[in-house]
């Protein structure tokens, strides 16, 4: 799946999950929601995947078009 999603989107999702005021019991629930969203967006269907690994995978597969450096 070759979708171009900006780095800003993943930064926002990470910020959003870190700013929620959650109880310790609900942290696991929010992590499951984030894992599901990221796996649907990036096509990485891994039950044991963490949000950080999915974000890292998305960033490593992202192409940045910059005229100064070319396509990176």
Q: Does residue 2 lie in a domain region?
A: no
Q: What pLDDT shows up at residue 29?
A: 72
Structural domain harbouring 18: 7-71
Q: Is residue 42 part of a domain?
A: yes
- The Cα–Cα gap between 51 and 34 comes to 6
- Give the CA distances from residue 62 to residues 20, 37, 72, in Å, rounded to whole numbers and listed in that order: 27, 18, 8
Query: Is the pLDDT higher at 33 or at 27?
Result: 33
Question: Do the domain assignments include residue 28?
Answer: yes
- The predicted structure's pLDDT at residue 13: 67
Does residue 1 lie within any of the structural domains?
Answer: no
Instruction: Tell me whether residue 14 is in a domain.
Output: yes
The domain total for the chain is 1
Q: How far apart are CA 59 and CA 27, in angstroms?
A: 24
Give the mean pLDDT of 6-32.
63
């Amino acid at each position: 799946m070759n979708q171009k999603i900006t780095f800003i989107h993943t930064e926002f999702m990470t910020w959003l999950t870190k700013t929620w005021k959650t109880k310790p019991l609900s942290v696991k629930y929010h992590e499951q929601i984030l894992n599901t969203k990221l796996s649907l967006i990036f096509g990485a269907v891994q039950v044991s995947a963490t949000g950080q690994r999915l974000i890292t995978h998305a960033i490593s597969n992202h192409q940045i078009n910059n005229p100064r450096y070319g396509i990176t």
